[in-house]
Amino acid sequence: LAGKKDVAGKTYICLGSPGTNDVARDIWKAEGLSVPNLFRFDEHGNLVRDKPNPEMLTTDQEWDYAVLIKLSRDGAIYFSCAGIDEEGTTTAVNSLLQGWETLQNMVGPRDFYVTLKVEKSKAPNTTAASQLGEIFVKNADQQYFNRLETK
């Protein structure tokens, strides 16, 4: 296992959900991600949240869902690109790689949490993804994500 000194100053990109990726599992256990207004993976691999209304996102032949997260922790930066199915994961990766500048202009240096709806027939192209709901952000020293305030 890596300690704080081993990860400090490094950036990690995790592909896959907490059910398939050990590093992603550690990220999802981090404080601030297990709150009722953010989607989380349940024991079946679906995305669920409790507030504002209980909701479950499941995949079908046409649609997938994914979460794209940046989390600063122990002096390192972690990105998690996790879909319910492969199309969601690969599209989240491409959304991060190709849309990084736009996302950074919106959120600045803060950590972020974005939920994506993915049209499977267009995956992994970024045209397959649309943002679902709001973007959530937090500073590295904050515990919980809050809605991104737009002007």
Q: Over the stretch 110-120, which tens digit does the pLDDT of each residue have?
A: 999 999 999 99
Decide if 32 contacts 38 (C-beta within 8 A).
no
Each residue's pLDDT tens digit, 64-89: 999 999 998 878 888 999 999 999 99
d(Cα 50, Cα 22) in Å, to the nearest integer? 25
Decide if 17 contacts 24 (C-beta within 8 A).
yes
Question: Mean pLDDT of all residues in the chain?
Answer: 89
pLDDT of residue 151: 64
Residue 45 backbone class (left: φ over 0; alpha: ψ -120 to 50; beta: rest): left
Flag whether pLDDT at 3 surpasses 60.
Answer: no
Each residue's pLDDT tens digit, 11-65: 888 899 988 888 888 888 876 677 888 999 988 899 999 887 889 999 999 999 9
Q: List, in sequence order, the alpha helices (H) in 16-113.
A: 22-29, 86-107
pLDDT of residue 70: 93
Place of tokens 């400090």: 8
Q: Which residues contact 71 (CB under 8 A, 6 or more apart)?
A: 27, 30, 33, 77, 78, 79, 80, 111
Flag whether pLDDT at 1 surpasses 60.
Answer: no
Each residue's pLDDT tens digit, 122-144: 999 999 999 999 999 999 888 88
Confidence of residue 106 (pLDDT cuts 50, 70, 90): very high
Confidence of residue 150 (pLDDT cuts 50, 70, 90): confident
